[in-house]
Structure formats: structure tokens, C-alpha cells
Amino acid sequence: MANTLSPRSTSPNVSPTKKLDYEPTTFSDLDRDRVSEDSVVNNGGCMYTRVAKLSISETKESKSRILDVISQSTKSKRRRSSVASIPPSISSSSQSRQNSVSGKILKKKKKITALNKPLKLKVFQKYVKDKLSVKDLRDLSLFLLGGTNNSPKWLHIENRQSFQKLIVLFVPGLQPEDYKLDLGTKFSENKEKLLNDKTINIFPTNETGIGISNIPPFQNLPIMSPGSRLSLFSAYTSFVNVGLSKNEKKKRFEELQRKKITIGDLICDIGTLAENDYPIHIDTPGLSESYNYLLSKNADDPKWKNTRNLGNNTPRIFAIDCEMCMSDNGLVLTRASVIDYELNVLYDKLVKPGVPIIDYLTQYSGITAELLDPITTTFDEVQSDILDLISSSDILIGHSLQSDLNILKIRHPRIVDTALIFHHKAGPPFRPSLKYLASEYLNSSIQIDKINGHNSIEDAKTCISLTKQKLDKGLAFGMSINTENFFLRIGKMARKKSLVLSDSVSRQSSYHNNIHDKFDYTMHCTSDDELMGELVKNINKFDLLVGRLRDLEFSRDYSKRSTKSLVQEKLPESNVIMSQFNENLKRVYEEAPSGTIILVMSGSGDTREWTSLMSEFNSLNAQDRMEKRKEREHDIESAVSKARDGIATLILKNNQNDNNNNSNDIEVCD
């Protein structure tokens, strides 16, 4: 679950009082009466010599003579406070303080002068001999924003004090042709050209005359997306998750272990529900104006229902699990089970779909034609029964429960998802299976009958048992403590505010929350144009702005629009999208303050072959899938190579760019 970050109270750095490095000299009453501050000024400090002689004088005659000389030199002067009658060490200390003040003024002037110096970047070619990774760009961003003291080896930042803001734009779908490179080539095959040839514009200027080529200075960088020889990982997930050191892991584990939790701490927040495609109930905690678009999903379908308040005095806890079969219209409900917190079976019924079943998926569902033949219970009856059983104030537990609620066409506001409160052993973004969790944390075996399939009652009971273990052992139980969210880290360590603009919402915070209470915010946008417009509008309110643009990858079939929350209008051609992006980027550049770094990156390369192969494999059962992957390993490796071949571009905004030669603001060095 996402954590809400509130500003931490900070105390000013107060240095302890320094002990004096001298012993104050004590004068006699006679000395105090005779010696004046003017004696110091007008005698060039020689008075101290005489006082010293006076203090060691052994004869009354010599003592009287010295005092007379001092007295004569001060008769015509206005008497001042005897505070000035101090030993040389104290006078030196006073002078030191004056020098210190002068030094501070000088340092302040130097600081102001330094702030006026433009930000400059130097890329060391020897360190980017191999392609940079998304992690390298993440670590650079973290360093710029104060989330780490480890400066990147591959880049030197000159006049870092002039850095003001970072804008990161993920633009999957970018191709080498967009950079005036040969059709069919890879970014990695043009590394030298991209690094050193400044005649290569970031994007070609189109017929409208608008292009990033008009926004100097810039530096192109071939990058490698996260993954392995035969696998591809999410570039965005890699960017927003920061690896922790051994000590940081230990500290975080101890912090989580100390916190006592209740079932309320495990309930999914609105952002998590939205990100995981849950149907959104009108009473969902945290639902605000920025999430209203979620309520419109399936709003026109009369079959969709909200759980209602049944008037229970105390919220109850249930687990739900459903089984499904395949029809021509997709998955249909064939069994629904409800378990209470004491593991009692409250409801368990088979359902006769209103459409023909083309695949019973028995190895997963446990449903056969023989089981359903005598059944007359309809979908509407089961849905009505569950709505009469579960109140909107109750808590529902399940594993990837969005699948069950979507098949039941029921919205519920309080969800605990065991696929989210427990982590995969490899960490996010991977999700653990219920079978793995049962084996790992309950020492039990479920879903082992490959012939008769899953059992919804067994699965629901497992979810209840896992949740009880979590409550008993704390938040750290079953969690990966290897990474930390990027946005929370810079908020916690450097008090930097961030805004993520995307077509999905991934954290609890919303921009419409009290801006003074936290550091990380999200804003839902339905199109690239809307996203860039909101970014420009909020550019001066945040230290980091991250935009996830999707139109280009959808237009080029790098990805499919899968959620109904997205605007389903037909997208324009990719060249039109590029033109719009160039124009929007120009607006962002113009509105950004001096000292802004804009990082544009594809994240991944051409994923079309990879996506096609994965679709083919996912249609097979587990055994056939394994055999097919082994058979087509060469094709997978080729597809992954293309999918991991990406591009990034650094753009630097300095006010001096408008008036001075900026060709050296970003340069490549050996």
C-alpha cells in the first residue's frame, strides 16, 4: 500500500556554544580607571605593552611613570566604556568576528555570483561506451533532486547550484527514424552518431516549423531498457523504484516491524484500486474530484451494482472467490463463494451462465459440464444474494479481487488484496500467486489438483489466513524490502515535491489533496495534449514533474489501450502525434525556469514482436507454453533485443541560452 507522506518537522542547525580559547585577564581597580579604549586606537596597541610593564613593575616610581604617560595621552579624549580595556586575545577575537562577518558577506556575494552561472553538463564518452540503462538515468535524477549523494560517473554537472527543476517525459514508441536515422536500424547501432553529431536534431522539424530542433541545447543518449536476454521489464517501474543499501533495508524492516497494524492499514487506497482496474464504489475512501472519471466506468450498464449500507453496527470481514469459464463473450461466472473471518462458509453456489460455454477451463476453474447441467441458479440471483449479504461498510478480502468483482459486476469500497499486501520474491512489479503465498507463509499446498482445478472455498480461506498472518507479524511480513519509491524518497530526504501525470493513478495522493501535507502527487490525464497542458500549468509548483505519454505507442501498436477509462477516440497518425508533441514540448521549454533539465526517454524500444510472441505463449497452458518458449528461444532473444533498444534526450534550459552561445552547455568529453 502506498504511504501518505507528511512534511517532517525540522529544526535549524544550532552549533553548540564554543568554549573560549583564552583565560580573561583581571585588572585592578586602578588599571580599570586609567585605561581607555582610545588608548588602544590612538597608540597602535602600544598601550598593551605599557600595561604589561605596569603589571610586572616592581617599583613604585616606574609604576607611577607609566600611569602618567597613559593618563596624558587620554586627557583630551572622550572617555569611553572600559569594555574596550581587554587583553589582546579578546581584541583579536573581536577583529576575527569582523572578519567573519566580512567573510560571510563575501561568501554570499560569491554564492549569488555562482547562482548566476549557467548550469552545464558534460557527458563522459568512456563511461557510456556501453549503452546507459534506465537505472543510470534514475540515479542521475535522484542525485539532482537530493535523494542521494552519489554523483553519476558518466556525467559531470557544472554549477549544480543553478539547477532548479527536473521534467521527465516517458514517450514509448519513439523510433530511430524520428531521429533522422536509417530505417530499420537500432539506436545502439548509431551510438557514435547520436552522441557526437549535433546536426542530428532530436526530432526532425516538420512542415509547421515546430520541432525540438529549435530548443537548444540537447544531448541524445542511446539507452537499454531493463530486462535480460529473454525477458523485458517495465522501464517506468525501474525508474520509480530505488534500490536500497543493506543498512537501509535493515532500517526499513525495523521501522515496519515496530508499527502495530489493524485491518484498516491493509485496505487498498483509491490510487491502488484505480491502477489495478478495480471497479470504483462511490463511497471509496479518498475518492475526490480528480477521481470522478473512475465513477463513469460502466455507469451506463444496468447490470453493475454498488454494495449498499445494510446498517451493521460493526464492519465485518469476508473473503470472496469466484470461478469462471470461457464463452464467446469472454469469461462468465460459474461459481461464487463467500467465507467469514472465522473460515465459515457463508455462501457457495454454482451459476448457470446465460450464454453457451466454449471452454470450461476445468484445470483452473474446477468446473465441468456435468457440474453445471442440473444448475438453474442465474447470475442475477447470485449477484442479488451477495448484495444482500455484504454491506458497503464491510471489508472484502481476496487475491486479485478485481477479477472477481468485475465478473460479479459489483463495486465495493473496502478491499484487502493479498496479491498487493504480499510481494513476489523478485519484488515489484511481479505479483505473487496465491499458491506460492500459501506454500511460503502458511506451509500449505493448494491448487495442486491439475485435473479437478481450483477450489474457490479453499482459495478464499487461504486469503483470510494470509491476512491474519500479516496482522499478527506486521507490515514487513511478506514484503520486499529491496526498493523504495523514488517520489517518497526525494520527499523524505530532500523535501522535494513531485507530480506524476498519467492515464492511470498509482498512489494514494491526488493533486487536489492539501498541497502542504505531502510531497508526492498524481494527476489523471486522458490524452497527451491534456497531460502536457497540465504540466505547463503546474510547472512552477513542483521540483519534479513526470509525464507518461501514451498516444505514440498506441498509434504505432507498441501497446493496446485496454482500460475503458481511456478516451477511445481514434488516434491520429504517428506523424501528427509527433508534431503535437514537439509543439507541446516547446511550450514546456518556454515556461520552464532557468536551470531546468528536461529528460525525454522512450523507456523501451520496439516492443511489437515481443508483444506478439507473449500473446501467442499466453494462449497456451503452462506445459505447452514452456515447450514453445524453448522452441522459439532465438525469436524471443531477437524480439527482446529490439524491445530493449531505447533512446533518451537531455534538454537544458538556461536563460543565458537566449542571448549567449550555448553550444557548450551540454558537451561530450573523452
Instruction: Quickly state the pLDDT bin for 304 (edges 50, 70, 90).
Output: very high
Instruction: Kindly state whether residues 502 and 377 are assigned to the same domain.
Output: no
552, part of any domain: yes
* Residue 214 confidence (pLDDT): 55
420, part of any domain: yes
CB 85, CB 36: distance < 8 Å: yes
Question: Amino acid identity, residue 350?
Answer: L
Location of C-alpha cell 568512456:
126
What is the average pLDDT across 607-630? 87
Instruction: Kindly state whether residues 292 and 274 are assigned to the same domain.
Output: yes
Instruction: Kindly state whether residues 100 and 131 are assigned to the same domain.
Output: no
Q: How many CB atoms lie within 10 A of CB 272?
A: 20
Instruction: Quickly state the pLDDT bin for 524 (edges 50, 70, 90).
Output: confident
Among candidates 576, 577, 645, which has minimal Cα distance to 609?
Answer: 645
5, part of any domain: no
Residues 6+ apart with CB under 8 A from 560: 554
CB 81, CB 37: distance < 8 Å: yes
69, part of any domain: yes
410, part of any domain: yes
Q: pLDDT over 90 for what percent of the chain?
A: 51
- For residue 514, is pLDDT > 50? no
Among candidates 125, 147, 160, which has minimal Cα distance to 595?
Answer: 160
H/E run at residue 167: strand 165-170
At 389-411, the pLDDT tens digits run 999 999 999 999 999 999 999 99
* Residue 55 confidence (pLDDT): 44
Out of 128-137, 476-485, 513-522, 539-548, the most confident range is: 539-548
- For residue 97, is pLDDT > 60? no
Domain boundary among the residues 92, 115, 138 is at 115
* Residue 70 confidence (pLDDT): 54
- For residue 274, is pLDDT > 60? yes
* Residue 520 confidence (pLDDT): 84
What is the average pLDDT across 318-325? 96
CB 45, CB 88: distance < 8 Å: yes
Q: Distance between CA atoms of 203 and 647, rounded to whole angstroms?
A: 12
What is the domain-level CATH number for residue 380?
A: 3.30.420.10
* Residue 429 confidence (pLDDT): 67
Instruction: Quickly state the pLDDT bin for 196 (edges 50, 70, 90).
Output: confident
- Bridge-based pairing state of the strands 483-485 and 520-524: unpaired
At 419-469, the pLDDT tens digits run 999 988 777 667 899 999 999 999 888 877 655 667 899 999 999 999 999
Instruction: Kindly state whether residues 130 and 217 are assigned to the same domain.
Output: yes
Instruction: Kindly state whether residues 412 and 341 are assigned to the same domain.
Output: yes
Instruction: Decide which of 549 and 217 is more confident.
Output: 549
* Residue 12 confidence (pLDDT): 35
CB 143, CB 160: distance < 8 Å: no
Domain boundary among the residues 438, 473, 508 is at 473
* Residue 522 confidence (pLDDT): 84
What is the average pLDDT across 29-56? 40
H/E run at residue 257: helix 246-258
Q: How many CB atoms lie within 10 A of CB 351?
A: 27
Instruction: Quickly state the pLDDT bin for 510 (edges 50, 70, 90).
Output: very low
- For residue 665, is pLDDT > 50? yes
pTM > 0.75: no
| Mean pLDDT estimate for the chain | 80
What is the average pLDDT across 364-373? 91
Check whether the bond before 204 is cis (ω within 30° of 0). Answer: no
Instruction: Kindly state whether residues 600 and 633 are assigned to the same domain.
Output: no
Could you report how far apart the first and last alpha carbons of the chain are, in Å? 45
Instruction: Decide which of 214 and 352 is more confident.
Output: 352
What burial class does residue 183 get, using C-beta atoms within 10 Å of its C-beta: 0-12 exposed, 13-18 middle, 19+ buried?
Answer: exposed
> Count H helices, E strands: the chain?
25, 23
Of the candidate ranges 26-30, 259-263, 266-270, 494-498, the one whose mean pLDDT is the lowest: 26-30
Instruction: Quickly state the pLDDT bin for 79 (edges 50, 70, 90).
Output: very low
Instruction: Kindly state whether residues 465 and 488 are assigned to the same domain.
Output: no
- For residue 135, is pLDDT > 60? yes
Torsion of CA 227, 231, 234, 239, to 10 degrees: -10
What is the domain-level CATH number for residue 517?
A: 3.40.720
Instruction: Kindly state whether residues 372 and 415 are assigned to the same domain.
Output: yes
Domain boundary among the residues 58, 91, 115 is at 115
Of the candidate ranges 38-52, 145-159, 588-602, the one whose mean pLDDT is the lowest: 38-52
Instruction: Kindly state whether residues 426 and 541 are assigned to the same domain.
Output: no
Q: How many CB atoms lie within 10 A of CB 110?
A: 10
What is the average pLDDT across 514-534? 79
Enclosing domain of residue 190: 120-240+483-605+645-669
* Residue 57 confidence (pLDDT): 44
21, part of any domain: no
Of the candidate ranges 197-206, 457-466, 508-517, 569-578, the one whose mean pLDDT is the lowest: 508-517
* Residue 198 confidence (pLDDT): 73
Instruction: Decide which of 438 and 517 is more confident.
Output: 438
Location of C-alpha cell 498512489:
507
Instruction: Kindly state whether residues 146 and 290 are assigned to the same domain.
Output: no
* Residue 569 confidence (pLDDT): 66
Instruction: Kindly state whether residues 316 and 434 are assigned to the same domain.
Output: yes
109, part of any domain: yes
Residues 6+ apart with CB under 8 A from 192: none
Q: Distance between CA atoms of 615 and 611, rounded to whole angstroms?
A: 6
CB 497, CB 491: distance < 8 Å: yes
Long-range contact set of residues 657-661: C-beta below 8 Å, sequence gap at least 24: 657/118, 657/216, 657/217
* Residue 114 confidence (pLDDT): 53
How many domains would you assign to the chain?
4
Instruction: Decide which of 632 and 427 is more confident.
Output: 632
What is the average pLDDT across 4-22? 35
Phi, psi angles (nearest 5°) of residue 242: -100, 125
Among candidates 168, 160, 166, 140, which has minimal Cα distance to 242?
Answer: 140
Instruction: Kindly state whether residues 452 and 548 are assigned to the same domain.
Output: no
Among candidates 553, 560, 429, 563, which has minimal Cα distance to 504?
Answer: 563
Out of 113-122, 361-370, 592-601, the most confident range is: 592-601
User: What letter does residue 649 receive in the DSSP assignment?
Assistant: E
Cell of 477: 511480513
CB 594, CB 648: distance < 8 Å: no
